[in-house]
Amino acid sequence: MNFNDILFNIQQTKNAFQQNALAAVNSHLTIRNWLIGMYIFEFEQNGEDRAKYGKKIIQKFAEKLEDDNLSYSNLKVYRLFYQIYPQFASIIPAFIQKYFDASEPMAINYFSFIDTPTKSIGQSVNVQLEKPGSNNGIVNAQTLLTKLSFTHLVQLLPIDDNTKRDFYIHECIKGTWSVRELKRQIDTLYFERCALSKKPDKLSAITQKNVEKFNNSEFIKSPFSFEFLGLKAKDVVYESDLEQALIIHLEEFLLELGHGFCFEARQKRIIIGDEYFYCDLVFFHRILKCHVLIELKVGNYSYEHYGQLKTYINYYNKEIRQADDNPTVGILLVTNANNALVEYATADNDNDIFVTKYLLQLPTKEQLLKFIERESKLI
């Protein structure tokens, strides 16, 4: 064998093991989350002491599981996941027997749980479980497990109609859509457009030709994946190396200004509905007594950048801000090869007076522009 033969073998070996590892992580993630949802839902229905927890059962679980990196929002998603995809009940026993020793506590607990006289597992919603050789309209559980990531499946949770959900599942699998592509097709009413189209096959062919394909890096960056692997949001880098370097230096720059900035988080995860967003930098300003959110974008300015920052501000004002805090303020920094831009924002245009007040304590546009220009040259 020559050098190129060995090089080819090394690449093929690396790719094969990487693909298998990702598939294994995804299948375990999906099954784990379904089981967590099952335990929560079935306890709500049949738990001996469920009454004393009232409507705050999931919140109570989240508080106890905080050290296990299982948030309230995620537990809600897992509960709904169990309800929407009952077909997974048909493959759980075989999956556990394949990957876990029968003497392990997890396996013992599961099989003892399903043997208890509770409501039939997997029939939480009005959908019949699949039977061998049947065609009852729901997608085979093994297909879901091997062809779609858990993040794909989560995107389909808000869809109430089983036929519509199955349509997107089939199209997504056929075109190996990315999660972002799946979301885009749902948002642009692809299902409804196909129903109205006189030539749905032609529409499908055109759509599939221009889709964004799923790749391994997308799965690795999934918030569900790094939560499953025990990583923290700050350990996952979503933006370019340049942007990440600028963010790190910007944090140091603001703290050095000495204007009352108290650092809280970098790449702060924000959950709005069932979607995950990440705010680059979060500070609390002890003089202004408000949160300061900072977004830094490499490239040309887009109104979407400003809208994204305003969304984060709205979220903080509604969910995080205390009664005696001042309104949250945001700073948007945009940099490209030719120029830089600084914009200040509040949640409401009527609060512009606050921006004027804040500018007495916040760094000026000139200071921030000089920082961006200097750092861009050094990095």
366 in the same domain as 252: yes
Q: What is the mean pLDDT of the chain?
A: 78
Task: Identify whether 296 is part of a domain.
Answer: yes
Render pLDDT for 240-264 as a digit per residue (tens, 0 to 9): 455 566 666 776 777 666 678 888 8
153 in the same domain as 38: yes
What CATH number has the domain bearing residue 271? 3.40.1350
| Angstrom distances, CA of residue 66 to CA of 37, 53, 233, 261, 332 | 16, 18, 15, 28, 32
Q: Which of 185, 220, 255 is the last residue of a domain?
A: 220
271 in the same domain as 211: no
241 in the same domain as 161: no
Compare 242 and 67 and report the one with higher pLDDT: 67
Residue 129 pLDDT class (50, 70, 90 cuts)? very low
Residue 220 pLDDT = 59
Task: Identify whether 306 is part of a domain.
Answer: yes
91 in the same domain as 45: yes
157 in the same domain as 18: yes
pLDDT at 270 over 50: yes
Task: Identify whether 226 is part of a domain.
Answer: no
Neighbours of 204 (CB within 10 A): 16
149 in the same domain as 32: yes
Render pLDDT for 11-43 as a digit per residue (tens, 0 to 9): 888 888 878 888 888 899 999 999 999 999 988
CA distance 345 to 354: 10
Q: Which of 168, 191, 220 is the last residue of a domain?
A: 220
Percent with pLDDT over 90 in the chain? 14
- Nearest alpha carbon to residue 90 among 114, 109, 56: 114
User: What residue numbers bound the domain in which 275 lies?
Assistant: 233-378
pLDDT at 351 over 70: no
Task: Identify whether 132 is part of a domain.
Answer: no
206 in the same domain as 239: no
Residue 79 pLDDT = 92
Render pLDDT for 39-64 as a digit per residue (tens, 0 to 9): 999 888 888 788 878 878 888 888 88
314 in the same domain as 211: no
Neighbours of 272 (CB within 10 A): 13
Q: Which residues contact 320 (CB under 8 A, 6 or more apart)?
A: 291, 328
Task: Identify whether 50 is part of a domain.
Answer: yes
Task: Identify whether 101 is part of a domain.
Answer: yes
Cβ atoms of 184 and 172 closer than 8 Å: no
CA distance 330 to 6: 54
HEC letters along the chain:
CCHHHHHHHHHHHHHHHHHHHHHHHHHHHHHHHHHHHHHHHHHHHHCCCHHHHHHHHHHHHHHHCHHHCCCHHHHHHHHHHHHHCHHHHHCHHHHHHHHCCCCCHHHHHHHHHHCCCCCCCCCCCCCCCCCCCCCCCCCCHHHHHHHCCHHHHHHCCCCCCHHHHHHHHHHHHHHCECHHHHHHHHHCCHHHHHHHCCCHHHHHHHHHHCCCECCHHHHHCCHHHHHHCCCCHHHCCCCCHHHHHHHHHHHHHHHHHCCCEEEEEEEEEEEECCEEEEEEEEEEECCCCEEEEEEEEECCCCHHHHHHHHHHHHHHHHHHCCCCCCCCEEEEEEECCCCEEEEEEECCHHHHHHHHHHCCCCCCHHHHHHHHHHHHHHC
Render pLDDT for 141-197 as a digit per residue (tens, 0 to 9): 999 998 999 989 999 998 988 899 999 999 999 888 888 888 888 888 889 888 888
Residue 334's DSSP bridge partners are 297, 341
Q: Are strands 290-298 and 340-346 parallel, antiparallel or unpaired?
A: unpaired
CA distance 333 to 368: 8
Count of structural domains, the chain: 2
Whether the model pTM is above 0.85? no
Q: Which of 220, 243, 261 is the last residue of a domain?
A: 220
195 in the same domain as 82: yes
369 in the same domain as 311: yes
Task: Identify whether 20 is part of a domain.
Answer: yes
Residue 128 pLDDT class (50, 70, 90 cuts)? very low
Neighbours of 337 (CB within 10 A): 8
**Type of residue at 38:** M
Percent with pLDDT over 70 in the chain? 76
Residue 294's DSSP bridge partners are 281, 331
In the β-sheet with 290-298, what is the strand arrangement from edge to edge?
261-272, 275-285, 290-298, 329-335, 340-346
Task: Identify whether 10 is part of a domain.
Answer: yes
374 in the same domain as 246: yes
Least-confidence region, from 79-83, 199-203, 283-287 = 199-203
**Type of residue at 39:** Y
pLDDT at 237 over 60: no
Compare 251 and 312 and report the one with higher pLDDT: 312
Residue 279 pLDDT = 86
**Type of residue at 294:** I
- Nearest alpha carbon to residue 255 among 217, 232, 247, 142: 247
CA distance 140 to 166: 10
Render pLDDT for 76-124 as a digit per residue (tens, 0 to 9): 999 999 999 999 999 999 999 888 887 888 888 888 887 764 555 555 4
